[in-house]
Chains A and B, each alone.
Chain A
Amino acid sequence: MKRFALIVSVFSLLACFSVAPLWAAENVKIGAAFALSGSIAVYGEGFKKCVDLAVEEINAKGGINGKKIEIVYEDNKSNPKDCVSAVRKLITVDKVPVLFGPAGSSNFMAAAPVAQESKVVMLSAQGTAEKLTQAGPFIFRIIPSNSKQGQRLAKLAFELGYRQLPVMYINNDWGLDLKDGFVTSFKKMGGVVTDIIPFDEKKTDYRTELLRANKDNPKAIVNLTYINEGAVQFKQAFEMGVKTQWLCGSAARAPKMVELAGKAAEGVMGTYPSVIQDTKEYKTFKAAYQKKYGDDKIPIFGDYNYDMVYLTTRAIEKGGYTAEGIRAALPAAAKGYKGVTGDKTFDENRGMEHADIGIWIVKGGKIEDHKK
């Protein structure tokens, strides 16, 4: 009986798969290994909404050369292991030549080699880790990497007139990425990094690290820190009488940090990746989203997901519906393309050439955008 049930289920499964291409033959299928359950499912839902919106718009305008786009969603369950399975399923069963990869840099990087080996194009709309696309030429990202922020921070330091400063950074992938980005650009501009001070997460005492950073009373200190660590550091620096301009990254840009550090956080500045929202493209997107879903709260990274669909569509139109065609056409399709999230031109690492990075500053206990 059990055996019979097994045979029946196997056959019915086979039937499903063999039937699918018959009615889907007219559609252009794109895979999406999204987090639809698990710890980051709340993000996945938002991405899906924005992808669906873009697909609906493109299909309403006639699709790709008359063919409708169809997204094949596969749940990646928010963990690296199931991300690999989901990507593998999309490639081997659904046979998509292009797919949208999982969110979360570590999830994406777990699945990227699978796509690369199968020679299927995989794109990320959320991964900011520096090494995200290193699996090979089939892996792309349409969101600026961490080092872009580091470069902008170096520019900010120069704009503010700081030529010599020490760098403190949190000893993890994020901190390291940003530190490397900053130091490389700062040195290229002719700046001098006087000291490099990594520090561990979750500590309660950073006094001696701060003492070392402040050794020659620098006018500014770059501190690539998190919320809690930043709060402790600014507090302890204030108590020690350190007088300097703090320059941070995006991870410290949180009301919680200001709440914890109180007046010690006053004047702290930093960079963060931002999407310029008063462009024509963004406004159109926002209006369309509101019309479809009834609220104007764009999900985090939703705008990038929306752009990802349009970029992929352009690449398919240009290069044809094959993995190799899409891979070869993507850079040209994206060059100079103005999406909702800005200029989408790829750099040599298949990441973003341009990045809109905003500057934040703590003023009167609030985090504000810094206006020059």
Chain B
Amino acid sequence: MDSLPYYLQTVVNGILAGCIYALFAMGLTLIYGVLNFVNFAHGELIMWGAYFLYLAMAEPFALPLYAAVPLALGMTALLGAAMDFALFKPLRKANRLTLLIAAIGLSFFLRNAAQLFWGAQVRTYGFEIRQGYRWLGVSLTPQQLAIIAISLICICGVYLLFFKSRMGKSMRALADNLDLARISGIHTGKVILSAWIISSLLAGVGGILMALDTNLNPEMGVVNLIKAFAATLIGGVGNLWGALIGGLIIGLAENIAVLFISPGYKDAVAFVIMVIILLARPYVVTDKRTD
């Protein structure tokens, strides 16, 4: 057995999966940090992001990729903002259970809406498939390189925005204490809107990358969101770096595990890690933030 490339490829696969999970988890954790609730409809932003691109590239628009992507991302951001405006804004002062149930309801609504529109069947952007580049026995396709590169760009962008800009500072202030932030003169409405837009953009980018790499179906969001939840919990809810690291841990762990245990238990790996972390660091699910 040519062992080195075999394991190297597994690590690369793990990083690829991890990047996608991290993009999802970061958007999820951002909304949690600012608004203090878990947006169960995040998976639908992922899915709609991918479908918006499909819409823009299909007839009658038939836009080229470079024009369609910004349009799709813009529409995803708009959807995120609309979600907040229509549902979460009126519930801003509601308790967390209400928000949770509202988000789950919204998730079903958006998923079924997509099914109504495009049907439940699987779709593809229709790009010609190509063999990956080979390097040290590891194969990588252009899409996969793009996943890694764009994830890195997004992570850096979010970092700069969150820790180096005024907006990020306001977001962090809001996350610490909404009322205090408001009386300190922070325009909370604007900050919350920005958080939704960034979260939606991250979801849209992740969804599009994933769909470019594989296919589109109305359930693509939900399936991967569960992993993103696990990643968020591992990293500490509300913690951006934690989401990134959590995503990578899960991606790597489940892929490496596939080599040794029956792949039927692939999903279990992520959740076993999650449970262990929760037991070892019980404060991550309380209101205490870990950053």
CA distance A212 to B215 in the complex (A): 22
A204 touches B263 (CB 8 A): no
Task: Give the segment of B6-14, B65-73, B161-169, B170-178 that binds chain A.
Answer: B6-14
Given A199-B266, A231-B124, A231-B215, 9 additional A-B pairs, CB 8 A: A205-B213, A208-B10, A208-B259, A209-B266, A212-B259, A239-B141, A241-B134, A260-B124, A260-B215
A202 touches B129 (CB 8 A): no
Contacts of B59 in A (CB 8 A): none
A208 touches B129 (CB 8 A): no
Number of interface residues of B (CB under 8 A): 38
CA distance A252 to B10 in the complex (A): 26
Chain B residue at smallest Cβ distance from A204:
B214
A258-310 residues at the B interface, CB under 8 angstroms? 259-264
Contacts of B95 in A (CB 8 A): none
Binary flags per residue of B6-47, CB closer than 8 Å to A gives 1, else 0: 100110011011000000000000000000000000000000
A32-63 residues at the B interface, CB under 8 angstroms? none
CA distance A231 to B122 in the complex (A): 10
Residues of B at the A interface (CB closer than 8 Å) are 1, 6, 9-10, 13-14, 16-17, 121-122, 124, 128-132, 134, 139, 141, 144, 210, 213-215, 217, 219-220, 223-224, 255-256, 258-259, 262-264, 266-267
- Among the listed B121, B128, B259, which residue makes an inter-chain contact with A256, where contact means beta carbons less than 8 Å apart? B121
A198 touches B262 (CB 8 A): yes
CA distance A207 to B144 in the complex (A): 12
With contacts A198-B263, A204-B220, A216-B1 known, is A262 near B214, CB below 8 A?
no
CA distance A263 to B131 in the complex (A): 11
CA distance A236 to B12 in the complex (A): 14
Chain A residue at smallest Cβ distance from B17:
A205
CA distance A235 to B14 in the complex (A): 18
A215: Cβ under 8 A from any B Cβ: yes
A260 touches B122 (CB 8 A): yes
B267 touches A200 (CB 8 A): yes
With contacts A203-B223, A241-B134 known, is A215 near B6, CB below 8 A?
yes
CA distance A276 to B138 in the complex (A): 46
22 interchain pairs, CB-CB under 8 A: A171-B264, A199-B264, A200-B266, A200-B267, A202-B217, A202-B219, A204-B215, A204-B224, A205-B16, A207-B9, A208-B10, A211-B259, A215-B1, A215-B6, A216-B1, A235-B129, A239-B131, A240-B139, A241-B139, A259-B124, A260-B215, A263-B129
CA distance A263 to B130 in the complex (A): 9
Contacts of A171 in B (CB 8 A): 264
B263 touches A240 (CB 8 A): no
- Among the listed B255, B262, B267, which residue makes an inter-chain contact with A208, where contact means beta carbons less than 8 Å apart? B255
A212 touches B16 (CB 8 A): no
Binary flags per residue of A220-249, CB closer than 8 Å to B gives 1, else 0: 000000011001100110111100000000
Binary flags per residue of A97-108, CB closer than 8 Å to B gives 1, else 0: 000000000000
A228 touches B13 (CB 8 A): no
A207 touches B210 (CB 8 A): no
**Contact residues of B: prevailing secondary structure:** helix
CA distance A211 to B10 in the complex (A): 8
A197: Cβ under 8 A from any B Cβ: yes
**Contact residues of A: prevailing secondary structure:** helix
- Among the listed A197, A204, A264, which residue makes an inter-chain contact with B223, where contact means beta carbons less than 8 Å apart? A204
* B215 to A: closest C-beta gap in Å: 6
CA distance A215 to B5 in the complex (A): 11
Contacts of A207 in B (CB 8 A): 9, 13, 16, 255
Most buried by B among A200, A208, A209, A256: A208
B255 touches A235 (CB 8 A): no
CA distance A241 to B140 in the complex (A): 10
CA distance A202 to B222 in the complex (A): 10
CA distance A239 to B217 in the complex (A): 21
Chain B residue at smallest Cβ distance from A234:
B129
Chain A residue at smallest Cβ distance from B132:
A239
A154-198 residues at the B interface, CB under 8 angstroms? 171, 196-198
Contacts of A212 in B (CB 8 A): 258-259, 263
- Among the listed B1, B122, B130, B256, which residue makes an inter-chain contact with A227, where contact means beta carbons less than 8 Å apart? B122
CA distance A259 to B215 in the complex (A): 12
CA distance A236 to B219 in the complex (A): 19
CA distance A101 to B129 in the complex (A): 46
- Among the listed B131, B210, B213, B220, which residue makes an inter-chain contact with A238, where contact means beta carbons less than 8 Å apart? B131
* B264 to A: closest C-beta gap in Å: 4
Chain B residue at smallest Cβ distance from A207:
B13
CA distance A260 to B128 in the complex (A): 10
Contacts of B10 in A (CB 8 A): 208, 211
* A201 to B: closest C-beta gap in Å: 9
B263 touches A197 (CB 8 A): yes
Which are the 5 A-B pairs with shortest beta-carbon distances? A198-B264, A204-B214, A208-B258, A208-B255, A207-B13
Contacts of B17 in A (CB 8 A): 205
B131 touches A208 (CB 8 A): no
Chain B residue at smallest Cβ distance from A259:
B124
Chain B residue at smallest Cβ distance from A263:
B129
* B221 to A: closest C-beta gap in Å: 11
B217 touches A228 (CB 8 A): yes
A205 touches B267 (CB 8 A): no
CA distance A231 to B124 in the complex (A): 10
- Among the listed A199, A228, A241, which residue makes an inter-chain contact with B122, where contact means beta carbons less than 8 Å apart? A228
CA distance A22 to B129 in the complex (A): 70
